[in-house]
């Protein structure tokens, strides 16, 4: 089902009981999911697997389960559950429930994609031209600035939204226009090029307290340009600040309107929560600030910063 068909169905307020969304443009998926929730009037819940909800749908119980929009990401079991594919694809009703299966990186599952074609929508990154024009319409910034942000974010609409939020807050706090906020943010590296995979592997290991993996990756990262301590500290500071914010917020208040980041980002970051307690997270954020300042004023040698951090937090 092409995205244009899905869009028209939602404009016509036509809702299906079962959807499969695939692709890397997660923020765009979120927009369509929210629209489905709005039209259906159902509460959105994110669950780990289809299995429990499917079992309840096929069991006669004494109590009726309140229908919901059930969001399930990368359920490996369902990819192999060929015996129930057609039951869900052809379903006219799922006891009032809506099920949305989300997948990334399944291009090789050609049989799955072919069979689910009637209910499957692909969310690929939006073209550069459309994104920069939309960005200019939102901010009034010159096209070269908008083009630079789009390129920086790798055409990822979710990342563009987050960078735009950062720029907006930066401008609001300092009394800058969009143009000045962009230029000043570039100077202080508040917005930057997309970072390579190894840096996220390494910082992800630190964020999830995978001590062995972090120490294994550190010598490798030193051999690349990603071994720059300031770059690592910046990524870690932003990540730990978000982890602290989400971990210290009650589950029912973890929303985009309260936290200022997309629902998908909240979900991704929440998977890293509870590896450290709140007091440890506060100390880590303070340590990162201390290291960044020390490197910049010359009281700390850059090569010692990351080993010092790992020694202190573990």
pLDDT value at residue 170: 83
With contact defined as beta carbons under 8 Å apart, do 285 and 244 qualify?
Answer: yes
What's the pLDDT at 228?
Answer: 81
pLDDT attached to residue 257: 62
- Which pLDDT score is estimated for 206? 95
Q: What is the pLDDT of residue 227?
A: 64
**Secondary structure of 115-173 in the HEC alphabet?**
HCHHHEEECCCCCHHHHHHHHHHHHCCCHHHHHHHHHHCCCCHHHHHHHHHHHHHHHHH
Sign of CA dihedral 170, 200, 134, 117: negative
Report the alpha-carbon distance of residue 214 to residue 314 in Å, rounded. Answer: 11
What is the pLDDT at residue 161? Answer: 82
- Between the alpha carbon of residue 292 and those of residues 171, 172, 234, the distances in Å are 23, 24, 8
Q: What is the pLDDT along the chain (314 residues), one digit of tens a residue?
A: 888 898 999 999 999 999 999 987 888 888 899 999 999 999 888 887 888 887 777 766 545 678 889 898 888 888 888 888 888 888 887 888 899 999 887 777 788 889 999 999 998 888 889 999 999 998 999 999 999 888 888 888 878 887 888 788 888 888 889 999 889 888 776 776 655 567 888 998 999 999 999 998 898 888 766 568 888 898 899 889 989 998 988 876 766 667 777 766 777 788 888 999 999 999 999 999 999 999 988 899 888 999 999 998 88
Number of residues that make up the chain: 314
Work out the end-to-end distance of the chain between its first and last CA atoms, rounded to an integer number of angstroms: 49
302 three-class SS: helix
**Contact between residue 278 and residue 285 where contact means Cβ atoms under 8 Å apart:** no
Asked whether 261 and 242 are in contact (CB, 8 A), the reply is: yes
> How would you classify residue 140: left for phi > 0, otherwise alpha for psi between -120 and 50, otherwise beta?
left
Q: Tell me phi and psi for residue 184, to 5 degrees.
A: -70, -35
Contact 67, 95 (CB under 8 A): yes
Residue 14 has a pLDDT of: 92
Checking DSSP bridges between strand 120-122 and strand 98-103, what pairing results, if any?
A: unpaired
Q: Which class for 151: exposed (0-12), middle (13-18), buried (19 or more C-beta within 10 A)?
A: middle
Centroid of chain to Cα 21: 15
Cα 312 to chain centroid, rounded: 29
Would you tell me the crossing angle of helices 157-174 and 128-139 to the nearest 10 degrees?
20
The CATH fold of domain 3-122:
Rossmann fold (3.40.50)
Which of 171, 240, 164, 178 lies closest to 204, judged by CA? 240
In the chain, where are the structural domains located?
A: 3-122, 128-187, 197-313
Sheet holding 120-122, edge to edge: 44-47, 69-73, 98-103, 18-22, 120-122
The CATH number of the domain covering residues in 197-313: 1.20.272.10
């Amino acid at each position: 089902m092409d995205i244009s068909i899905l869009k028209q169905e939602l404009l016509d307020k036509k809702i299906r009981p079962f959807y499969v969304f695939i692709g890397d443009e997660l923020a765009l998926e979120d927009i369509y999911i929210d629209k489905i929730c709005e039209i259906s009037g159902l509460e959105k819940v994110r669950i780990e697997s289809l299995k429990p909800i499917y079992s309840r749908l096929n069991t006669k119980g004494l109590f009726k389960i309140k229908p919901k929009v059930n969001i399930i990401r990368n359920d490996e079991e369902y990819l192999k559950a060929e015996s129930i594919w057609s039951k869900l694809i052809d379903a006219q009703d799922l006891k009032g429930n809506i099920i949305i299966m989300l997948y990334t990186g399944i291009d090789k599952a050609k049989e799955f994609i072919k069979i689910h074609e009637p209910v499957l929508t692909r969310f690929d990154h939006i073209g550069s031209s459309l994104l920069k024009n939309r960005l200019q319409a939102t901010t009034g910034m010159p096209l070269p600035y908008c083009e630079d942000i789009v390129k920086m974010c790798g055409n990822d609409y979710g990342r563009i939204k987050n960078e735009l939020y950062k720029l907006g807050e930066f401008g609001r706090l300092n009394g800058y226009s969009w143009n000045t906020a962009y230029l000043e943010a570039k100077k202080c590296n508040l917005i930057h090029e997309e970072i390579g995979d190894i840096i996220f592997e390494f910082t992800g290991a630190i964020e999830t307290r995978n001590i062995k993996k972090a120490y294994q990756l550190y010598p490798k990262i030193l051999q690349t340009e990603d071994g720059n301590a300031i770059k690592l500290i910046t990524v870690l500071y932003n990540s730990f600040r978000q982890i602290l914010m989400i971990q210290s917020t009650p589950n029912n208040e973890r929303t985009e309107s309260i936290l200022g980041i997309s629902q998908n980002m909240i979900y991704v970051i929440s998977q890293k929560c509870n590896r450290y307690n709140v007091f440890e997270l506060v100390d880590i954020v303070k340590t990162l600030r201390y290291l960044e300042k020390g490197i910049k004023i010359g009281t700390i040698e850059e090569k010692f910063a990351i080993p010092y951090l790992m020694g202190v937090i573990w």
